[in-house]
Structure 1
Amino acid sequence: MPASTPPPPAASASPSGTPAGTPVPSASAPGRGTPPRGPQAARRETPPARPSAAAPQAASSGAPARKGPPAHAPREEAETTPAASRASASAPPPSAGARERRGRPAAAARADLEVRSHPGGPQRAAAPGPDGVYDYRITAVNHGPSQAVGVTVQDRLPASLVFVSSADGCTASGRTVTCGPLPQLAVGASHTWIVTVRLADDYEGDGRDIVNLASVSSQTRDPDASNNTTSVTGLPVPPDWGRADLSLTKTAVLPGGRDWVRPGETFTYRITVHNNGPGTARGLRVTDPLPKGLHFVGSPDGCAPDDGGRLIVCPGPDRLASGTSVSYALTVRVATAQTRHFGRIENVATVTSTTKDPDPSDNQNPPYTVYVKTGDHGELPDTGGDVPAWLGWAAGAAVTCGGLLMAAVRRREAGRGPRR
């Protein structure tokens, strides 16, 4: 009898009804019975998982078999470990504030900023001081919904105002004052800068025409730009602002109490400027052009020749309040080449101001009131214009009496006749 061939072992069925060991096509594989097309389709096919030692036991017990990772997984999936995937999934995305702090504001961040401005500060009332100085309080407010980054405020001053300083670090370039940038401004928060200004020296108005503009901006998108600018109109300018009547007087302080000096001697001119009001005089300047008969020696009050010439200029002050005065002393020397024995040396000084002067007629010392007499004969008495009036009458009377006496003598001799 021929040897009987043992029957093939019975294949265990999988839960899906597919005999064990039969390859299961992947989702991307061609349909059953359709051969894969091309090398790309062959690579996309997933080979069947090799059954582990526990696979028969799982199959016999009716539990589904676990499938291991594909032997030929894509490179991207192979490089991503389960731990890295879990860490990436658990890490929260960076917040809008974090992106803004790195200098990359979130596209969705929005901050509605508002700017407010009004005169007066915590240490200064709205009314100006005697020098016409004011404080502007400029405030930036964030209405949200996001915090604002890089908040900057600009104050555009009119021609009637001049920037003085800022306790909060604002700086000026031309007529534009810049405050900030402020790194962050939270939702609902506000920040205030104080800008100190003064009236311009040539301003003559009453303050109602002064308009000051302020604006706010930031790196965060602002959904409503209608409140990013504001303007303040009017300032309480005193009624006497812009008018100051200045007057100048000048005297010569001569050596030894004399009213004349010799060539080569020095003496001092004293110039006094008084403000008769009603307002403060600003930008004062005193000039004194020396004549050829005088040479400038020095001044303890800062007066000096302008560019080395003969025009002497005395500084400031920048402000001279109503009812106050300022004095300057100039030391000069009489030229030795002065040949006129008793000639006048006229010297006229002038005061000017950037404030309007309602009466400029007294801004110079009057002519022929400041002079010195010079002579090269020592301390001889003056026999010129200082001769007393009675001496002329006495001389005339003496001459008249002499003439009458001579006439009487001649008549007497004529009456005697010739002698025999």
Structure 2
Amino acid sequence: MRLYNTLTREIEPFRSRDGQVGIYVCGVTPYDTTHAGHAFTFLVFDTLVRYLRATGEDVTYVQNVTDIDDDILRKAKAAGVDWQELGAGETASLQRDMRALNALDPDHFVLATDHIPEMVEIVSALVAAGHAYESGGSVYFSVDSDPDYGKLSGIPRPEMLAVANERGNVPDDPKKRDPLDFVLWQVATPGEPTWETPWGPGRPGWHIECSAMATQYLGNTIDIHGGGSDLIFPHHESEIAQSELATGERPFSRVWMHAAMVAYQGEKMSKSLGNLVRVNDVLASYPADALRLYLMAHHYRAPWEYVDDEIDTWDGVRRDLVEASEFTTFGRDIVVDVSSERERFYNAMSEDLDTPAAIEALRGVAQVILESPEDEDSRDAQDTLRELADIVGLTFDGEG
């Protein structure tokens, strides 16, 4: 298989290590319901996991939930609810939505708040090595201590600072030595949850959470680290820096894989903007396969815009696939041959997870079946149809 690696900016051969593949995907901050942008990202990696397993790899799939975060605390306070109850409720909603879309459960679905000791251990290692410093009860990563900081995003420092500021960085924090330094552990304000540490009570910063969880389950070097492209900087950039300097091992991840952003009504779909297409709303009107086909008809690296009525086209494709799966002929002498379409499917999937081309190959299998004469046997072809459909996560459930 070949995959585009954000770190090298090239499509590279990907090979497992002795048949083992560890995948870590950054999950949600659970303060609102799952939208189509989330679903696109998670179904990309769900499909990758399915394909790798179908080709014989032993995959360990880890996905996290950032269940302690400024956004959760802010929304819980505004709504007058407990932050843990808010996070637990939205996490359960995410799991329901993804299971409804036939997404596989990750092997490890992990909460940040369950891994505080691992975070403290990494922060302590960074402080001891001189890559982090305590100031006013908080601990900051010293960006100047890492000459490779910026290697993932490839953006110049002024742009780094602008992007970081948009995503929660406080450049004029008087406790920081450098405006770009980021918080590893922060002093909590009154009323916020805290954990005891060598630096006093506080709570974790955003980036340290994923470093702790990824290394806990997959070791100091993981195979594929994924997430949305909006996480490249500062989140994934900072993960690399703190992880590699804490463990002394490089690379933190062999491949960095990012799903493009999904727009809606002219802007990036996001909880903060409120322009959401909620998964549960779509599934109230369409079978899961229709939404899954619509999402996977877009290449994972290409930004695109969700248009409400376009899913109707993909519901029609779903109906054709269901019809082909049920349209059996039992001829004795000639077997319907879909080997070329099957090869086309696997070639597409192996070339940077080209799901649009793979779905076209799947449609080609269905077309051959539906156009086969009655005296030809389509049962093997239908087995192939179901084999390939399973790799892209289709169930053929729902009304035909």
- Higher share in strand: 1
Task: Please say whether Structure 1 and Structure 2 have the same fold, judged by a TM-score greater than 0.5.
Answer: no
TM-score by length of 1: 0.21
Structure having greater relative contact order (Cα 8 Å, sep ≥ 6): 2
TM-score by length of 2: 0.22
